[in-house]
Amino acid sequence: MTPEELDIEFKDAVNRVNDHTEPFPADFLLRLYAYFKKATDNYDRPSSRKPIINAFKANALFQVKDISKDEAKQEYINLVTKYFLYRR
């Protein structure tokens, strides 16, 4: 897959998540959060009003610290694809 194709698929997966109206499982959201932050080079600190949520987000980010931006995009795409494939 070319970098351009990866970017298109990543944006499509992000849009699919954003357009979804039902709640996602918390563990799924944390993985999406971490891969999205890594894929977009967004290294802002978690900003929830609840410290426990910030701790979970920080842990999720720590778990993806050793993967590349492109790997994060691919993992995000894989998560979204599997979620929508198996939720039917």
What length is written for the chain? Answer: 88
Task: Give residue 88's pLDDT band: very low, low, confident or very high (50, 70, 90).
Answer: low
Per-residue model confidence as pLDDT tens digits over 22-57: 999 999 999 999 999 999 998 788 888 899 999 999
The residue-averaged pLDDT of 55-78 equals 95
Is the Cβ–Cβ distance between 57 and 48 less than 8 Å?
yes
Tell me how far apart the alpha carbons of residues 10 and 28 are, in angstroms, rounded to a whole number: 16
Average pLDDT, the chain: 93
CATH number of 3-86: 1.20.80.10
Domain spans of the chain, in order of start: 3-86
Note the pLDDT of residue 14: 98
pTM: 0.91
Tell me how far apart the alpha carbons of residues 76 and 3 are, in angstroms, rounded to a whole number: 15
What separation in angstroms does the CA of 57 have from each of 18, 19, 30, 31, 44? 19, 22, 6, 9, 11
